[in-house]
Chain A
Amino acid sequence: MKTIKATLTGLSLAVSLAATANIAQAAEDTIKVGVLHSLSGTMAISETTLKDTVLMMIEKQNKEGGLLGKKLEPVVVDPASNWPLFAEKARELLVKEEVDVIFGSWTSVSRKSVLPVLEELNGLMFYPVQYEGEESSKNVFYTGAAPNQQAIPAVDYLMSEAGGSVERFVLAGTDYVYPRTTNKILESYLQSKGVAEKDIMINYTPFGHSDWQTIVADIKKFGNAGKKTAVISTVNGDANVPFYKELGNQGISAEDIPVIAFSVGEEELSGIDTAPLVGHLAAWNYFMSAESEVNDEFIDTWQTFIKDEERVTNDPMEATYIGFNMWAKAVEKAGSTEVDAVRDAIYGVTVPNLTGGTAVMNTNHHLTKPVLIGEIQDDGQFEIVWETSGGVIGDAWTDFLPESAKIIADWTSPVKCGNYSLETGVCSGQKYE
């Protein structure tokens, strides 16, 4: 009942926002903030929340007097989960709306689609989602986790005493770049840890895969071989619900075969009946259950903003929060919203993250932040069972793939390059300046 009422108000809010987004264009001398998240199509499920988060941050910032004495003005567009449309919309934001910064994208492909536009028009985008790495663009700041800020620690935990000293691994993922890369990295990492080939099972499924009977049955058989087994899931979005439901029904409990997921957060859980999932894991840089003053405050502001007491927060929201605050700080520091100035100003900027520590923007455009492992609770929350001591530096180019091990990213002189090959000393890829 409550949800419905809440969502109804949500609707009215949405409409009014849409209105403002247009009218506001008339307003003079504001700092325009582009919001490039899918509000329709398959990705709307995840991205709409981030759109609202940005709007909340902007509202908050304006209450505190805006930036450089100007008000912030959101420009919301809907790329409709259509990848070419992302490029088109990005261009529209930069050229037609002349926004000073863009917060947006979720899927890798949408980012890849926007990238050339950003680089051509020297735009600035903050990308708030965990991703496969292997990229560092001059015009993008990656505030989500790189593989070494999620996958690697997760494995370490599983192999640890507390994690149940797992010896056998199922790498289950949706068949696209993020899982492919992550699993490649994990594979070589596991082997470096002395896990045998036969103790690793890799399985890929299409997007939105809904019939998991066979695969879950296979996992069960794989797990019956005696050794302690765990599933590392990079299964994406919609496919998760049927996956977990099947796990529950085939009686695979977290104690027998724990599943640790990199794409399942509070938001996704809010769409699942979590009772059968208690004990399954997730690795993120933030959990709603994290205990800190800032987090409590953030949750309160969010729930009042979205007018829903039950509404959850999640890791990409924190990433957006950090990204936004860093940008704001950098703008203050640079005294302008001019992209190059902001970029130079933002390196080394630290802002509090929601888990109590601070996040630092490194010169490879990735963050330093802590990694947490949480166990799913029956209330749809995560119980934090493990966390890294201090922050982990986001690594754009993983050390566990032969080709990318040679490459580093550093946007300050002397390197000034997103993919600088230590071997050849050449900066390949981007071609500006």
Chain B
Amino acid sequence: MVESTHGKSIPDDTLLYLDSVTVSFDGFKALNDLSLLIRKGELRAMIGPNGAGKSTMMDVITGKTRPDEGKVLYRQADNSSADTDLTRFDEAAVANMGIGRKFQKPSVIESLTVWENLELALAGRRSPFATLFHRIDQTDEQKISDTLDLIHLAERRDDLGANLSHGQKQWLEIGMLLLQEPELLLVDEPAAGMTDEETFRTADLLREIARERSVVVVEHDMEFIRALDCRVTVLHEGHVLAEGSLDHVQNNQQVIDVYLGR
């Protein structure tokens, strides 16, 4: 049992705990005393109007932005005893602790092929010298081609990232996430610019993934959220407004006010 600053107790199967995090840019509070708890193997959807702080939250977790106050406690699978405070590490370190992130606008390496993109993401030693003499082996190749099938890009393996459609880029990026073999995936608006058909496939995929990993999805598309059918957190002005099942939050008066701007 770990005590949070609020004296609230944290369950043992916690994977990630944001402990009253505050971030401000030139006075404007992007995150305002935000506390959030993700359990192992949980699939969590986050919604909220623009500027609610969704992206900033991800920045804080992934070590891109240092919070002014608060901690981000992370409990790795291997040593469930000690919690690490992610705010003390940079992006690379956080990523190597098993937290993968997919950006809002798809960012794949455009001048590398699909295959190379995946190979790049492949879990493994990340130091320059390691990469210098790295030779890809059978199992890795297998992993990659499996992923290719999973994200339906098998036949485009040798095309440049630049030449993929928007949707395909999204998928490729998710594929890259998977190959990182993270414990926690932060997925920012995966369904953006996808056809309905793609959208549902994406939802399935994420549910699939969530079996052995924890996934946090930020999304506007309510249909997509419904398809995910999971616990939903509503962010507003940098702190949690409501939390619970989709129906629960949709009937929450505050939430309605915020969304309809009353």
Q: Do the two chains touch directly in the complex (Cβ atoms below 8 Å apart)?
A: no
**Which residues of A pack against B, CB within 8 Å?**
none
Residues in B lying within 8 Å of A, measured CB to CB: none
